[in-house]
Amino acid sequence: MPSATPAGTAAATRAPRAAPPRRLLSLAGLLAALVLVVGINALSEAFLGRYRIDLTEQRLYTLSDGTRTVLRSIPEPITLRLYYSSRLGKEIPVYAAYATRVRELLHEYAALADGRIRLEFYEPEPFSDVEDRAIAYGLQGVPVDQSGEQVFFGLAGTNLLDEERIIPFFQPERERFLEYDLTRLVYELSNPQRPKVGVMTGLPVNGEMRGPMGRPTAPWAVMTQMRQFLSVQDVPLDAAEIPPDIGVLMVAHPQNLAEKTQYAIDQFVMRGGKLMLLVDPHSEAQAARPGPGGVPNRDTASDLPRLLEAWGIAYDKDRVAGDLRGAMRVRAGERDRMQAVDYVAWFTASGPDQISRDNPATGRLNQVTVASAGFLAKRDGSAIEFEPLVTTSPEAAPIEAAKVRTEPNPTQILAEFRPGNAKLVLAARIRGEVASAFPDGPPAPPEGEQAPERKEPHRARSEGPANIVVIADSDILEDRFWVRVQDFFGQQVATPFADNGALVINLLDALSGSDALIGLRSRGESRRPFELVDEMRRRAEAEFRAREQALQKRLEETEAKLRELRRGTGDGGRADPVLTPEQRAAIEEARADILETRRELRAVQRDLRREIEGLQTTLRLANIVAVPLVVALIAIALGIWRIRRRARRAEEPREATA
């Protein structure tokens, strides 16, 4: 009997279709992933290239509002030409990375300028036309090896009026000022008309003749920067009237000004002129330069008491401000005992509690260094608006100016310093209607002189609110307190370590009404000091210096007494070579006292070093051990948690089976 096979069974016995090999599937998946990555990168480069996330505390890599304002307000197109030698990046890789950042930033500037910035990139080859054009613009060529071949890394900008501005060579040391340098160049090309500022000072801000051969020195860095942004005009110290085309006047360290010049300054303010006044109880710049005949200057204070009193400002030229928190470390002591000491008369104001964040001119500054500065206050009963711009910390106190004027002793000043619990105002902005310091009109000329001709009428009160900035220190202008100037193949490169220059120019900009660059002059400051550790070190050292001074005085008195005992005295006060038993006993006692004092002095010094070294050890342990230890403990805790979790999961099926 024939057997019948169902159709479903026949279909079931057919051979199954062969599945694609796993290797082929893996290759296809890999290709798809590669295409996806390339596509995402291409899309992100096209649409997200300009978007970044800046996680730094001070937003160091985010373009400031001032830069955006400058770029959006360019009236006419400008051209920026970057000259970069690729060999420089091959020989020194840090320049290759820096050049990439410069290019990216220039592209971002061009994008924000909406077509008003044209970019051109050139690579200068030796003895080429491109190299000749770079040299013609004034860019800096630097030899990269012994062959003498020069490489370039600079920027040249031009506007439609054929005005030129350059950055001769991009220094990596100034990378944190890159945005400021580029924006400044664009601003100068797009704003050829600059506010006019008058400068009246006896300080050698424009350079001086030094040495027996009379060699000229370079202008101070602050004046170089002022001339980059402002039209600066020197005003003589004996001026009888301020020129009418000057809108802002800077008077720095005024000493013994004639009444006619004081009247000129007063009337300049009365007619609506803006004034920046820098007075000083002790000018370190003046004290460091010999006076007439080579003798050091004794008169180093400046003041305008008649004007300040009339305007409601209190200032004492015989007292300086001392601050323990920001005191600068200096070398002091005798030749055989030189040591680093906190000099409280030279200090740095830093942080929002000392530099006003409410004023645009100071809102972005990080630190301002002063030296033997005075302090200001609002006079009782004055109706002016007194806005502190820069202050000391609460650990401050006045110091008699005589202690810092002639051969100051930083160790003794620190030992005698007793900080208070109140801030002292170092710089302030004054607004409000004020009365003239010359209510009865111009002062009478000295006998034998004619009254000068004046074009402006006398004003007894200010026409509208006066606008004055007073800074109780003129040394903020001097290079050594805020900037390092280095020679780079004949080019002077200034690298600020404080914001003194930015403070001065920001305030002049604010007074003149041109404040586009205020927000970015001090960007890029990434200094993060250990404030708590520094405060502990300062307090420990201040206590040590006081104890050291007391022990040192006791040691000197005992040594003087020992010298007298060794000489001995007989009848009539004459020296007696034979010592009595009492004198010998006193000598031994004095010797023992000297040894004990020296031992205590060494113990005090050891205690100071031990405390500071203990702080350093604690920090090292925190950085080296504590962080890895915390990470290890977290990893161990996670491991234990996972093991217990797996154990619980393994037990659950057994319980279910049971």
More confidently predicted of 479 and 651: 479
Q: How confident is the model at residue 654 (pLDDT cuts 50, 70, 90)?
A: low
- pLDDT at residue 525 is higher than 80: no
Clarify whether residues 243 and 321 are in a common domain: yes
Calculate mean pLDDT across residues 551-565.
Answer: 69
CATH number, domain at 108? 3.40.30.10
Calculate mean pLDDT across residues 460-479.
Answer: 94
> Within a 10 A sphere around the Cβ of 525, how many other Cβ atoms?
19
Domain that holds residue 145: 65-172
Q: Are 151 and 134 in contact (CB under 8 A)?
A: no
- pLDDT at residue 12 is higher than 60: no
This prediction has a pTM of 0.63
Clarify whether residues 143 and 197 are in a common domain: no
Least confident of 59-63, 223-227, 242-246, 352-356: 59-63
More confidently predicted of 639 and 267: 267
Query: Is 507 exposed, middle or buried (CB count within 10 Å of its CB: 0-12, 13-18, 19+)?
Result: buried
Clarify whether residues 160 and 225 are in a common domain: no
Quick check: is 656 in a domain?
Answer: no
Quick check: is 584 in a domain?
Answer: yes
Clarify whether residues 124 and 197 are in a common domain: no
Q: Are 117 and 78 in contact (CB under 8 A)?
A: yes
Clarify whether residues 271 and 405 are in a common domain: yes
pLDDT value of residue 52: 57
- pLDDT at residue 10 is higher than 50: no
Quick check: is 597 in a domain?
Answer: yes
Rg over alpha carbons for the chain, rounded to the nearest Å, is 36
593-622 tens-digit pLDDT:
767 766 776 676 666 666 666 666 776 666
Clarify whether residues 420 and 276 are in a common domain: yes
Which of 502, 529, 556 is the C-terminal boundary of a domain?
529
Most confident option among 224-238, 359-373, 469-483: 469-483
Clarify whether residues 543 and 432 are in a common domain: no
What's the domain count of the chain?
3
Q: Are 474 and 283 in contact (CB under 8 A)?
A: yes
- pLDDT at residue 45 is higher than 80: no
> Within a 10 A sphere around the Cβ of 645, how many other Cβ atoms?
10
Clarify whether residues 485 and 555 are in a common domain: no
Quick check: is 7 in a domain?
Answer: no
Average pLDDT of the chain is 81
423-456 tens-digit pLDDT:
999 999 999 999 999 999 999 888 888 888 888 8
pLDDT value of residue 67: 85
pLDDT value of residue 11: 46
The span from the CA of 530 to the CA of 444, in Å, is: 58
Q: Are 320 and 512 in contact (CB under 8 A)?
A: no
Calculate mean pLDDT across residues 64-74.
Answer: 85
293-316 tens-digit pLDDT:
667 778 899 999 999 999 999 999
Calculate mean pLDDT across residues 555-574.
Answer: 61
DSSP structure string for 145-195:
STT--EEEEEEEEEETT--EEEE----GGGGGGHHHHHHHHHHHHH--S--
pLDDT value of residue 261: 95
pLDDT value of residue 1: 44
Distance, CA of 238 to chain centre: 34
Least confident of 76-80, 215-219, 384-388: 215-219
CATH number, domain at 318? 3.40.50
pLDDT value of residue 633: 83
Handedness of CA 571, 574, 580, 586 (dihedral sign): positive
175-205 tens-digit pLDDT:
877 887 898 899 889 877 777 899 999 999 9
More confidently predicted of 645 and 470: 470
Least confident of 161-170, 307-316, 407-416, 484-493: 484-493
Calculate mean pLDDT across residues 48-75.
Answer: 69
More confidently predicted of 156 and 364: 156
pLDDT value of residue 50: 52
Clarify whether residues 136 and 239 are in a common domain: no
Which of 529, 560, 583 is the C-terminal boundary of a domain?
529
More confidently predicted of 99 and 605: 99
- pLDDT at residue 2 is higher than 50: no
Clarify whether residues 502 and 587 are in a common domain: no
Q: Are 249 and 273 in contact (CB under 8 A)?
A: yes
Clarify whether residues 341 and 273 are in a common domain: yes
DSSP letter at 240? S
Handedness of CA 650, 653, 656, 658 (dihedral sign): negative
pLDDT value of residue 415: 87
- pLDDT at residue 356 is higher than 60: yes
Quick check: is 45 in a domain?
Answer: no
Quick check: is 168 in a domain?
Answer: yes
pLDDT value of residue 476: 96
Q: How confident is the model at residue 41 (pLDDT cuts 50, 70, 90)?
A: low
Which of 510, 529, 548 is the C-terminal boundary of a domain?
529
- pLDDT at residue 371 is higher than 90: yes
Percentage of the chain surpassing pLDDT 70? Answer: 74
Calculate mean pLDDT across residues 530-534.
Answer: 57
Helix (H) / strand (E) containing 400: strand 396-400
Q: How confident is the model at residue 406 (pLDDT cuts 50, 70, 90)?
A: confident
Percentage of the chain surpassing pLDDT 90? Answer: 40
Q: Are 153 and 83 in contact (CB under 8 A)?
A: yes
Clarify whether residues 591 and 510 are in a common domain: no
